[in-house]
Amino acid sequence: MKDKSRSARQSVPKQAAGTYEGLTNQISELYSKLSPRNQEIARYVTQNPNTIAMESAVSIAKLCGAHPSSLVRFAQIFGFDGFKDLQALFRTRLATAAPGFNERVAALETELRQHEGGGDYGILKDLVISDIASLHTLLDSVRDQDLGCAAEILLNARTIYIAGQLRSEPVARFVRYLLTMIGCRTILLDETGGLATERARLMEPGDALFAVSFRYYAKEVVNISEIAYQNGVPVIALTDSSLSPLAKSSKVIFEIPEGEYIFSRSLAAPMCLTLSLVTALAGRLQPNHSKPAISVVTETNPDTASQ
Protein backbone atom coordinates (compact mmCIF):
# COMPACT_ATOMS: atom_id res chain seq x y z
CA MET A 1 0.00 0.00 0.00
CA LYS A 2 1.37 3.39 -0.94
CA ASP A 3 2.27 5.58 2.03
CA LYS A 4 -0.21 8.47 2.38
CA SER A 5 2.45 10.99 3.31
CA ARG A 6 4.42 10.16 0.15
CA SER A 7 1.27 10.58 -1.92
CA ALA A 8 0.66 13.97 -0.29
CA ARG A 9 4.23 15.07 -0.92
CA GLN A 10 3.92 14.33 -4.63
CA SER A 11 0.88 16.58 -4.93
CA VAL A 12 2.40 19.57 -3.11
CA PRO A 13 4.16 22.27 -5.16
CA LYS A 14 7.93 21.90 -4.89
CA GLN A 15 8.21 25.49 -3.68
CA ALA A 16 7.25 25.96 -0.04
CA ALA A 17 4.50 28.43 0.83
CA GLY A 18 5.75 31.95 1.46
CA THR A 19 3.04 32.95 3.92
CA TYR A 20 1.24 31.48 6.91
CA GLU A 21 -2.08 31.69 5.03
CA GLY A 22 -0.63 29.88 2.04
CA LEU A 23 0.68 27.08 4.23
CA THR A 24 -2.60 26.59 6.11
CA ASN A 25 -4.45 26.49 2.77
CA GLN A 26 -2.10 23.75 1.58
CA ILE A 27 -2.56 21.81 4.80
CA SER A 28 -6.36 22.04 4.47
CA GLU A 29 -6.27 20.85 0.86
CA LEU A 30 -3.99 17.89 1.54
CA TYR A 31 -5.17 16.92 5.02
CA SER A 32 -7.18 13.89 3.90
CA LYS A 33 -4.11 12.50 2.06
CA LEU A 34 -1.78 12.70 5.06
CA SER A 35 -0.90 9.76 7.26
CA PRO A 36 -2.70 9.56 10.65
CA ARG A 37 0.45 10.81 12.42
CA ASN A 38 0.81 13.78 10.08
CA GLN A 39 -2.89 14.53 10.46
CA GLU A 40 -2.35 14.79 14.22
CA ILE A 41 0.55 17.19 13.64
CA ALA A 42 -1.49 19.17 11.10
CA ARG A 43 -4.33 19.62 13.60
CA TYR A 44 -1.96 20.81 16.31
CA VAL A 45 -0.07 23.15 13.98
CA THR A 46 -3.22 24.84 12.66
CA GLN A 47 -4.98 25.06 16.03
CA ASN A 48 -2.00 26.36 18.02
CA PRO A 49 -0.16 28.80 15.73
CA ASN A 50 1.19 30.92 18.58
CA THR A 51 2.68 27.90 20.32
CA ILE A 52 4.31 26.82 17.05
CA ALA A 53 5.85 30.29 16.76
CA MET A 54 7.23 30.47 20.29
CA GLU A 55 8.22 26.96 21.39
CA SER A 56 11.14 24.73 20.41
CA ALA A 57 10.68 21.74 18.14
CA VAL A 58 11.26 19.41 21.11
CA SER A 59 8.55 21.10 23.17
CA ILE A 60 6.11 21.16 20.25
CA ALA A 61 6.74 17.46 19.56
CA LYS A 62 5.83 16.61 23.16
CA LEU A 63 2.70 18.74 23.03
CA CYS A 64 1.37 17.09 19.89
CA GLY A 65 2.53 13.58 20.85
CA ALA A 66 5.15 13.19 18.13
CA HIS A 67 8.90 12.78 17.78
CA PRO A 68 10.89 15.88 16.72
CA SER A 69 11.94 14.04 13.55
CA SER A 70 8.24 13.71 12.66
CA LEU A 71 7.99 17.50 12.65
CA VAL A 72 10.91 17.69 10.24
CA ARG A 73 9.30 15.16 7.90
CA PHE A 74 5.98 17.00 8.15
CA ALA A 75 7.67 20.26 7.11
CA GLN A 76 9.41 18.53 4.21
CA ILE A 77 6.09 17.26 2.87
CA PHE A 78 5.17 20.90 2.30
CA GLY A 79 8.42 21.82 0.60
CA PHE A 80 10.49 23.11 3.54
CA ASP A 81 14.05 21.99 4.24
CA GLY A 82 13.26 21.59 7.92
CA PHE A 83 10.85 22.48 10.69
CA LYS A 84 12.56 25.80 11.48
CA ASP A 85 11.75 27.08 8.00
CA LEU A 86 8.10 26.23 8.50
CA GLN A 87 8.16 27.76 11.98
CA ALA A 88 9.44 31.06 10.53
CA LEU A 89 6.06 31.63 8.85
CA PHE A 90 4.33 31.29 12.22
CA ARG A 91 6.73 33.74 13.83
CA THR A 92 6.11 36.30 11.09
CA ARG A 93 2.36 35.88 11.59
CA LEU A 94 2.67 36.36 15.34
CA ALA A 95 4.75 39.52 14.94
CA THR A 96 2.32 41.09 12.49
CA ALA A 97 -1.09 39.76 13.53
CA ALA A 98 -0.95 39.62 17.32
CA PRO A 99 1.30 42.30 18.80
CA GLY A 100 1.81 41.93 22.53
CA PHE A 101 0.83 38.26 22.59
CA ASN A 102 4.09 37.15 24.25
CA GLU A 103 3.48 39.53 27.14
CA ARG A 104 -0.13 38.37 27.43
CA VAL A 105 0.86 34.71 27.60
CA ALA A 106 3.58 35.44 30.16
CA ALA A 107 1.08 37.29 32.37
CA LEU A 108 -1.41 34.45 32.13
CA GLU A 109 1.21 31.85 32.98
CA THR A 110 2.25 33.92 36.00
CA GLU A 111 -1.37 34.02 37.14
CA LEU A 112 -1.72 30.27 36.71
CA ARG A 113 1.37 29.59 38.81
CA GLN A 114 0.09 31.87 41.55
CA HIS A 115 -3.13 29.92 41.87
CA GLU A 116 -1.80 26.37 41.74
CA GLY A 117 -3.26 24.36 44.58
CA GLY A 118 -5.80 27.07 45.33
CA GLY A 119 -8.66 24.69 46.04
CA ASP A 120 -12.09 25.16 44.51
CA TYR A 121 -11.61 28.90 44.10
CA GLY A 122 -8.30 28.19 42.37
CA ILE A 123 -10.16 26.08 39.81
CA LEU A 124 -12.41 29.06 39.10
CA LYS A 125 -9.37 31.33 38.74
CA ASP A 126 -7.72 28.91 36.30
CA LEU A 127 -10.85 28.67 34.16
CA VAL A 128 -11.34 32.44 34.06
CA ILE A 129 -7.71 32.99 33.05
CA SER A 130 -8.04 30.34 30.35
CA ASP A 131 -11.20 32.03 29.06
CA ILE A 132 -9.45 35.39 28.92
CA ALA A 133 -6.75 33.85 26.73
CA SER A 134 -9.39 32.21 24.54
CA LEU A 135 -11.26 35.50 24.08
CA HIS A 136 -8.05 37.32 23.18
CA THR A 137 -7.36 34.64 20.57
CA LEU A 138 -10.88 35.11 19.26
CA LEU A 139 -10.25 38.83 18.74
CA ASP A 140 -7.01 38.05 16.90
CA SER A 141 -8.55 35.48 14.58
CA VAL A 142 -12.02 36.68 13.58
CA ARG A 143 -12.25 38.98 10.57
CA ASP A 144 -14.75 41.82 10.31
CA GLN A 145 -15.69 40.84 6.75
CA ASP A 146 -16.62 37.33 7.90
CA LEU A 147 -18.90 38.69 10.61
CA GLY A 148 -20.52 41.00 8.07
CA CYS A 149 -20.95 38.23 5.50
CA ALA A 150 -22.49 35.88 8.09
CA ALA A 151 -24.87 38.59 9.33
CA GLU A 152 -26.01 39.26 5.75
CA ILE A 153 -26.62 35.55 5.14
CA LEU A 154 -28.81 35.38 8.24
CA LEU A 155 -30.54 38.64 7.31
CA ASN A 156 -31.56 37.31 3.88
CA ALA A 157 -32.51 33.80 5.02
CA ARG A 158 -36.14 32.78 4.89
CA THR A 159 -35.57 30.15 7.57
CA ILE A 160 -32.45 29.73 9.70
CA TYR A 161 -31.69 26.12 10.54
CA ILE A 162 -29.42 25.42 13.51
CA ALA A 163 -27.39 22.28 14.19
CA GLY A 164 -25.23 21.52 17.20
CA GLN A 165 -24.99 18.36 19.28
CA LEU A 166 -23.05 16.91 22.19
CA ARG A 167 -20.90 19.63 23.76
CA SER A 168 -21.99 22.12 21.09
CA GLU A 169 -25.70 21.76 21.85
CA PRO A 170 -25.77 24.65 24.40
CA VAL A 171 -24.38 26.98 21.71
CA ALA A 172 -27.04 25.84 19.22
CA ARG A 173 -29.84 26.39 21.71
CA PHE A 174 -28.43 29.80 22.63
CA VAL A 175 -28.44 30.78 18.95
CA ARG A 176 -32.07 29.70 18.62
CA TYR A 177 -33.00 31.72 21.71
CA LEU A 178 -31.28 34.85 20.44
CA LEU A 179 -32.66 34.60 16.92
CA THR A 180 -36.19 34.00 18.23
CA MET A 181 -35.89 37.08 20.45
CA ILE A 182 -35.26 39.29 17.40
CA GLY A 183 -38.07 37.75 15.36
CA CYS A 184 -36.21 35.37 13.04
CA ARG A 185 -37.81 32.14 11.83
CA THR A 186 -35.62 29.31 13.16
CA ILE A 187 -35.62 25.52 13.22
CA LEU A 188 -33.35 23.68 15.65
CA LEU A 189 -32.22 20.37 14.17
CA ASP A 190 -31.82 18.57 17.48
CA GLU A 191 -31.74 14.84 18.20
CA THR A 192 -35.38 14.62 19.29
CA GLY A 193 -37.05 11.69 17.58
CA GLY A 194 -33.91 10.86 15.62
CA LEU A 195 -35.14 12.92 12.67
CA ALA A 196 -32.59 15.76 12.51
CA THR A 197 -31.04 14.54 9.26
CA GLU A 198 -34.43 13.96 7.65
CA ARG A 199 -35.64 17.40 8.65
CA ALA A 200 -32.44 18.86 7.23
CA ARG A 201 -33.43 17.58 3.79
CA LEU A 202 -36.24 20.17 3.83
CA MET A 203 -33.68 22.99 3.57
CA GLU A 204 -33.89 24.94 0.33
CA PRO A 205 -31.98 27.75 -1.38
CA GLY A 206 -33.03 30.92 0.41
CA ASP A 207 -32.57 29.28 3.81
CA ALA A 208 -29.37 29.24 5.88
CA LEU A 209 -27.69 26.79 8.24
CA PHE A 210 -25.75 27.71 11.38
CA ALA A 211 -23.70 24.64 12.32
CA VAL A 212 -21.59 24.19 15.46
CA SER A 213 -19.21 21.31 16.07
CA PHE A 214 -15.81 20.87 17.67
CA ARG A 215 -13.44 17.93 17.85
CA TYR A 216 -14.53 15.21 18.14
CA TYR A 217 -17.14 16.20 15.58
CA ALA A 218 -20.77 15.11 15.82
CA LYS A 219 -21.36 12.98 12.72
CA GLU A 220 -24.96 14.10 12.31
CA VAL A 221 -23.98 17.78 12.31
CA VAL A 222 -21.37 17.04 9.63
CA ASN A 223 -24.00 15.19 7.58
CA ILE A 224 -26.47 18.06 7.95
CA SER A 225 -23.84 20.54 6.74
CA GLU A 226 -23.15 18.40 3.68
CA ILE A 227 -26.88 18.18 2.93
CA ALA A 228 -27.14 21.98 3.15
CA TYR A 229 -24.20 22.41 0.78
CA GLN A 230 -25.69 19.94 -1.71
CA ASN A 231 -29.03 21.79 -1.56
CA GLY A 232 -27.44 25.17 -2.26
CA VAL A 233 -27.97 26.43 1.30
CA PRO A 234 -25.20 28.70 2.69
CA VAL A 235 -23.58 27.28 5.82
CA ILE A 236 -22.13 29.37 8.64
CA ALA A 237 -19.84 27.09 10.62
CA LEU A 238 -18.49 27.58 14.13
CA THR A 239 -15.72 25.05 14.69
CA ASP A 240 -12.15 24.63 15.86
CA SER A 241 -10.04 24.47 12.71
CA SER A 242 -9.89 24.86 8.96
CA LEU A 243 -9.31 21.09 9.01
CA SER A 244 -12.77 20.53 10.51
CA PRO A 245 -15.11 18.42 8.34
CA LEU A 246 -17.51 21.39 8.42
CA ALA A 247 -15.03 23.57 6.52
CA LYS A 248 -15.61 22.10 3.05
CA SER A 249 -19.36 22.77 3.25
CA SER A 250 -19.18 26.28 4.68
CA LYS A 251 -19.57 29.67 3.06
CA VAL A 252 -18.31 31.36 6.24
CA ILE A 253 -16.24 29.57 8.86
CA PHE A 254 -15.30 30.86 12.30
CA GLU A 255 -12.39 29.01 13.87
CA ILE A 256 -11.95 28.86 17.65
CA PRO A 257 -8.90 26.67 18.42
CA GLU A 258 -9.37 24.59 21.54
CA GLY A 259 -5.99 23.02 22.25
CA GLU A 260 -6.17 19.99 24.51
CA TYR A 261 -9.27 17.83 24.69
CA ILE A 262 -10.01 18.16 28.39
CA PHE A 263 -13.11 18.13 30.58
CA SER A 264 -12.89 21.81 31.54
CA ARG A 265 -12.99 23.23 28.00
CA SER A 266 -15.11 26.35 28.13
CA LEU A 267 -17.78 27.64 25.74
CA ALA A 268 -17.04 31.29 26.59
CA ALA A 269 -15.51 32.12 23.20
CA PRO A 270 -18.17 30.34 21.07
CA MET A 271 -20.94 31.99 23.10
CA CYS A 272 -19.31 35.41 22.76
CA LEU A 273 -18.92 35.04 19.01
CA THR A 274 -22.51 33.86 18.66
CA LEU A 275 -23.82 36.80 20.65
CA SER A 276 -21.81 39.29 18.60
CA LEU A 277 -23.05 37.79 15.33
CA VAL A 278 -26.72 37.89 16.33
CA THR A 279 -26.29 41.41 17.69
CA ALA A 280 -24.87 42.44 14.31
CA LEU A 281 -27.94 40.89 12.69
CA ALA A 282 -30.25 42.66 15.15
CA GLY A 283 -28.70 45.98 14.17
CA ARG A 284 -29.42 45.28 10.50
CA LEU A 285 -33.05 44.46 11.29
CA GLN A 286 -33.71 47.90 12.81
CA PRO A 287 -35.31 50.58 10.61
CA ASN A 288 -32.32 52.90 10.97
CA HIS A 289 -29.58 50.27 10.93
CA SER A 290 -26.90 52.77 9.96
CA LYS A 291 -26.96 53.83 13.61
CA PRO A 292 -28.45 50.84 15.42
CA ALA A 293 -29.25 51.01 19.13
CA ILE A 294 -27.61 47.65 19.75
CA SER A 295 -27.93 47.70 23.54
CA VAL A 296 -31.74 47.95 23.34
CA VAL A 297 -32.54 45.93 20.23
CA THR A 298 -35.35 44.11 22.06
CA GLU A 299 -36.98 47.32 23.31
CA THR A 300 -39.96 48.71 21.37
CA ASN A 301 -38.97 52.30 22.15
CA PRO A 302 -35.35 53.07 23.09
CA ASP A 303 -36.35 56.50 24.41
CA THR A 304 -38.55 54.94 27.08
CA ALA A 305 -36.37 51.96 27.91
CA SER A 306 -35.29 53.40 31.25
CA GLN A 307 -38.78 54.45 32.37
Same domain, 185 and 126: no
How many alpha carbons lie under 13 Å from residue 105 in its C-beta half-sphere? 12
Amino acid 218: pLDDT: 86
Report the phi/psi class of residue 18: left, alpha or beta, with left for phi > 0 and alpha for psi in -120 to 50: alpha
Which stretches of the chain drop beneath a pLDDT of 70?
A: 1-14, 95-118, 258-264, 287-307
Residues of the chain with pLDDT > 70: what percent? 78
Spell out the SS3 assignment of 126-164.
HHHHHHHHHHHHHHHHCCHHHHHHHHHHHHHCCCEEEEE
Same domain, 40 and 128: no
**Total-model pTM:** 0.69
Same domain, 165 and 261: yes
- 303 occurs within a structural domain: no
211: helix, coil or strand? strand
Question: What are the angstrom distances between the C-alpha of 203 and each of 86, 151, 161, 169?
Answer: 42, 19, 8, 20
* Domain of 123, in residue numbers: 101-141
User: Which of 83, 110, 141 finishes a domain?
Assistant: 141
Contact 12, 84 (CB under 8 A): no
> How far is residue 244 CA from its own chain's centroid?
9
* Rounded Cα distance, 87 and 83, in Å: 6
93: helix, coil or strand? helix
Same domain, 62 and 152: no
Same domain, 48 and 173: no
Same domain, 158 and 266: yes
Encode pLDDT of 166-213 as tens digits.
Answer: 888 999 999 999 999 999 999 999 877 778 899 999 999 999 999 999
How many alpha carbons lie under 13 Å from residue 231 in its C-beta half-sphere? 20
> What's the total number of domains in the chain?
3
* Rounded Cα distance, 245 and 43, in Å: 12
Same domain, 136 and 157: no
Residue 189: CATH number of its domain? 3.40.50.10490
- 259 occurs within a structural domain: yes
162: helix, coil or strand? strand
Amino acid 100: pLDDT: 46
Nearest to 83 by CA among 73, 70, 72, 93: 72
Contact 266, 130 (CB under 8 A): yes
Residue 48: CATH number of its domain? 1.10.10.10
Same domain, 108 and 166: no
